[in-house]
Amino acid sequence: MTFSKAKQEFQIRYYLWATSEFEKEIDESFPNLRLFKSGSAWETYQFMQQLDKNEQLTLMRGLLKRNNDAVQALGENCSIEEECLRSRRDDFFRIRGLYQFVKRLEKDGQMSEARSLFQRFRPAAVKVLGEIYLEDEKSLRSRLDAIFRPIPSTFEEEIAARELAGEKIKFASKRNVRKAIITKFKSAFGNQCIGSEYLLAEPQPQFQIKCHGWISSTIFEFGHRKSSIEYSHIISSEDSFEHQSPEGVVYRTNLIIGFNISFCSWLGITGATKWEYLMDEDVEPACDSAIKHCGHFFEVAPKLLKGLELEKITAD
């Protein structure tokens, strides 16, 4: 089997597994998505609450089919309904933020500025509502109020409000967050890791686990002033191989069969999964969640890679 064929097979398996994972998440009322306090995972969960079960499944398919080579290989297409719901999800919080800004301008007496801004994003607001056209501005605003009212403030908005009120918010130190995730990862998976130092001397800590001849590297990154944890997996060959570019330049690089794998990526939300704005009391729960998602992928990785062992791969 050539590397390109092996990579395509892995992507197909990953896509089918991800679909089953998202279906389970929906069936069980979002046990994982509901735990995020910010970011695209939280936003996706909040938008999902606006939909019925069939619409949730439609959005799921739309998210998973975005920029996915496996979809093309399987001969699947993204339906109009899937694209529409995905577009509404993508724009939902952007339009919410703009609409809130319009209301603040009106409250401050800047009526012409508010009206000009509202007219600029009005077509996108109509689409977020799932409508084709709403001529009556009063009706449109009434519908926007109704759909946005149940949405709680984002965690970023809560932080901003607390700081505006004069509260001094202390976020967890990057050093403590880094130490906590390293300790928990080593405790959970240290006996599977290769390399005596687990590549901890790197700018960001990396852990490597061998699986069917491939190396699964888990990479953690952290925020700066407002602490966060971000993780993803890369599955690559241990050794580099010689390649030739279309221009005839010969170079060496590792083969990568899987990239930017994480909880959010297998739900089609984003490449990396992130816990943001961590305070001291948030560090342990965030680390535990990250370890849980890592362990879940480590359990399925051997099945996804079975039969695609590196020694069976030939050059394209």
pLDDT digits (tens, 9 = 90+) for 281-293: 999 999 999 999 9
Spatial distance between the Cα atoms of 116 and 136, rounded to a whole number of angstroms: 16
| pLDDT at residue number 305 | 96
| pLDDT at residue number 197 | 64
Residue 190 has pLDDT above 80, yes or no: yes
CB neighbour list of residue 299: distance below 8 Å, 6 or more residues apart: none
Whole-angstrom CA distances from 89 to 59, 75, 269 are: 8, 25, 10
Residue 133 has pLDDT above 90, yes or no: no
| pLDDT at residue number 196 | 65
Q: What is the mean pLDDT of residues 229-247?
A: 82
| pLDDT at residue number 35 | 94
| pLDDT at residue number 226 | 79
Residue 198 pLDDT class (50, 70, 90 cuts): low
Residue 129 or residue 240, greater confidence = 129
Q: What is the mean pLDDT of residues 274-302?
A: 96
Residue 121 or residue 313, greater confidence = 121
CB neighbour list of residue 236: distance below 8 Å, 6 or more residues apart: 214, 215, 217, 254, 255, 256, 257
| pLDDT at residue number 250 | 65
The rounded mean pLDDT for the chain is: 91
Q: What is the mean pLDDT of residues 219-238?
A: 90
